[in-house]
Amino acid sequence: MKKQSFAPTMKDVAKEAGVALGTVSKVVNGLPVGDSYRVRVEDAIRKLNYQVNSYAQGLKAGKTYTAALLIPNTIDPFFAAVAYHINIALIKRQYRMLLCCTDYDPRQEQEYVVMAQQNKVDGIIGLTYNPGLIVEENTPFVAIDRPMGPKIPCVACDNFGGGQLAAEKLADLGCKHVAFLRVGSSLDNEPNKRKAGFENGCLSRGLSCEMKIINDGAPYEEFETFLSEHIRDGKLAFDGIFCVTDRLAWLVLGTLRRLGQRVPEDVQLIGFDGIRAFGSIDYHCSTIVQPISDIAEMCVDLLLRESALAKPPLVCLPVTYAYGGTTREP
Amino acid sequence: MKKQSFAPTMKDVAKEAGVALGTVSKVVNGLPVGDSYRVRVEDAIRKLNYQVNSYAQGLKAGKTYTAALLIPNTIDPFFAAVAYHINIALIKRQYRMLLCCTDYDPRQEQEYVVMAQQNKVDGIIGLTYNPGLIVEENTPFVAIDRPMGPKIPCVACDNFGGGQLAAEKLADLGCKHVAFLRVGSSLDNEPNKRKAGFENGCLSRGLSCEMKIINDGAPYEEFETFLSEHIRDGKLAFDGIFCVTDRLAWLVLGTLRRLGQRVPEDVQLIGFDGIRAFGSIDYHCSTIVQPISDIAEMCVDLLLRESALAKPPLVCLPVTYAYGGTTREP
């Protein structure tokens, strides 16, 4: 068996790739170099099985041991939980975290991306809904829920699988005619896959399914109208409803009660996210739970990985179903 | 009328106080100097009505335009809202914010205090429950809810007034026999004043009041036992209950329903904090609302005030009552 007798160095990589040592250093540290150079360096790194020397890395100038989190706010409990778990994951690794609540303001986001490019922070984890955000592919950036390009890793829960799981649960619990309620986003993002997964689950389990999708910004009352139009002689046409978020499920729960429908006796309801009252008490509804702590760990792990290699463009983490009072007891 | 013809300078202050120019600079910038020196400089500043030159301030070396927030977590919705509003208040002033979720770990807190002393951050806003936290009085630190010493400003809502308001509301809504439920803290903190305010309000409005206070860490079931022991022939001995937080009120609401008590018909319930479901939908219960946005603005304003002067040791901001379904309609 052929075995390398000592570990390859950065010089070996430079020689193999036919580039300057500085170019290898830039690639390893995620700094901008021309595409063709980067490909050659990455090929050489793989060929030689070069391992980055983390100790030497730590000594390089300009390392701030600070990462930034871009998130719309920490008022929404899903965002609040993401901020908490990413903070804890960074602190565990001796990193500090700059928090930037963007309130969906694109200027803030672009400013932090510039900071990362100037090495004022070591990297950014961003949950952003800004379609115009420009992140150059060498910027150390990890996206949550929204793909930002092939070189920027995106971490999300398995949204497709979650939608499918919701349909399967409703089928298991005896539902025949179900509805899917969603506030739609025009942005290409991972949570949009919940719909396709739910449709798929309905199809495979023989559930009839009706969809009501309203645009982001449209009034919630459209769902009330939809539901009340589907009541004949006091009876709702659906025995199961899947809502795209727990927040929507909570609103729908109130509407169903006002319309005289009993939950879960007349109609069972499943949300998505796994939000608990006051952050730690009961679930607000039966729900597909996002693994927020695992998502946070994965984001931080991908961001702080020293090499530009081995950063997958999309990582989907598994969801689970939790009973929260709006379905029949398991 | 005697009028000064031009603005006094830092030199004038040094001369008036009989100290070196550097000492004045330290006091103005909140850096450590001996107590007697600081008092003399502060007296001279007041006497001459010296105004800090903010522009020159901005140019001084070592200014990071970064502040840190110490908070147990962002999972609890009150903490989450505090983090959001402080973040927004800092960003508005072109400051960055380091978030440190402490999970009640004292080591984290002390580490950030050291960073502030070393001017790695310009200051700290801290919501901390760590009785051992040592903050030297010259450290730029603003405390939320817990006094940290006479030189460290503490910002809180008017907890005493809020307790009193809860009693008055219950009286206005027809209650005669009320209870106060509280998870007690052994720490000297501002929210502890809710009890005294409520007692005061009960006294002035002629309400009979019974208290049930359990220690932090004791099981919630003690409240269930207390309530069930006060039911005779299906009737609860109280027609009004004030809970020290909305979180506790939410748990009590569940208990009361399990015990066959109708809220608000049989017993009215008021919580404290003003937490909304999903951060922005309905209140969880009728509640005394903390002005979290005003608290955040005040904290940031006090922290970034250039002079060490005019930082009051305690600022209490007014609360309001909000109807949230667990009292009779207003």
A25 backbone dihedrals φ, ψ, rounded to 5°: -60, -45
Q: CB of B112 within 8 A of CB of B121?
A: yes
Give the number of residues written for chain B.
330
**Residue written as tokens 């609360």?**
B319
Q: What is the pLDDT of residues B88-123, one digit of tens each?
A: 999 999 999 999 999 988 888 888 888 887 778 899
pLDDT at B8 over 60: yes
pLDDT of the residue at A23:
85
**Residue written as tokens 């008092």?**
B39
**Residue written as tokens 């980067």?**
A38
B104 interfaces chain A, CB cutoff of 8 Å:
no
A243 interfaces chain B, CB cutoff of 8 Å:
no
Q: How far is CA B181 from CA B90, B209, B252, in A?
A: 36, 11, 9
Which tokens sit at B116?
């502030």
Q: CB of B67 within 8 A of CB of B303?
A: yes
Average pLDDT value for residue range A211-220: 90
B118 interfaces chain A, CB cutoff of 8 Å:
no
Find the range with the poorest average confidence among A20-29, A226-235, A275-284: A20-29
Best probe of the A interface among B65, B73, B247, B290, by most A CBs < 10 A, is: B73
Give kind and range of the element (H or E) at residue A125. Answer: strand A123-126
pLDDT: is B235 or A115 the higher one?
B235
Q: Which chain B positions have a beta carbon within 8 Å of A97's beta carbon?
A: 98-100
Query: Residue A264: is the preceding peptide bond cis (ω within 30°)?
Result: yes
Q: Which CATH class is domain B10-52?
A: mainly alpha
pLDDT of the residue at A59:
40
Find the range with the poorest average confidence among A138-147, B55-64, B291-300: B55-64
Q: What is the pLDDT of residues A62-115, one digit of tens each?
A: 688 999 999 999 999 999 999 999 999 999 999 999 999 999 888 888 888 888
pLDDT of the residue at A55:
33
pLDDT: is A131 or B200 the higher one?
B200
Q: Pinpoint the alpha helices (H) of A185-291.
A: 193-205, 221-229, 246-258
Number of other residues whose CB lies within 10 A of the CB of residue A204: 12
CATH 3.20.20.150 fits A66-156+293-316, yes or no: no
Q: What is the pLDDT of residues B62-91, one digit of tens each?
A: 688 999 999 999 999 999 999 999 999 999
Interchain proximity A84–B75, CB inside 8 Å: yes
A125 interfaces chain B, CB cutoff of 8 Å:
no
Q: Give the mean pLDDT of chain B.
A: 89
pTM of the model: 0.80
Find the range with the poorest average confidence among A66-80, A111-125, B16-30, B130-144: B16-30
Q: CB of B98 within 8 A of CB of B68?
A: yes
Average pLDDT value for residue range A179-193: 87
Distance between CA A127 and CA A79 in Å, rounded?
9
Please, which pLDDT band fits residue A220 given cuts at 50, 70 and 90? very high
Supply the DSSP string of B115-170, one letter for each residue: HHHTTSSSEEEE----TT----TTS-EEEESS---TTS-EEEE-HHHHHHHHHHHH
Q: What is the ipTM of this complex?
A: 0.78
Share of chain A above pLDDT 70, in %: 92
pLDDT at B38 over 90: no
Interchain proximity B77–A76, CB inside 8 Å: no
Interchain proximity B91–A101, CB inside 8 Å: yes
Interchain proximity B279–A108, CB inside 8 Å: no
pLDDT at A214 over 70: yes
Which tokens sit at B286?
């009728």
Nearest CB partner across the interface for B250, out of A101, A251, A281: A281
User: Nearest-CA neighbor of B172 among B271, B62, B270, B297?
Assistant: B270
Q: Where in chain A is the domain with CATH 1.10.260.40?
A: 10-52
pLDDT of the residue at A138:
80
Distance between CA A293 and CA A298 in Å, rounded?
9
CATH number at B159-291: 3.40.50.2300
Find the range with the poorest average confidence among A180-184, B7-11, B225-229, B289-293: B7-11
pLDDT of the residue at A6:
60
Distance between CA B321 and CA B288 in Å, rounded?
5
pLDDT at B289 over 70: yes
B87 interfaces chain A, CB cutoff of 8 Å:
yes
Q: Where in chain B is the domain with CATH 3.40.50.2300?
A: 66-156+293-316, 159-291
pLDDT of the residue at A312:
87
Distance between CA A208 and CA A205 in Å, rounded?
9
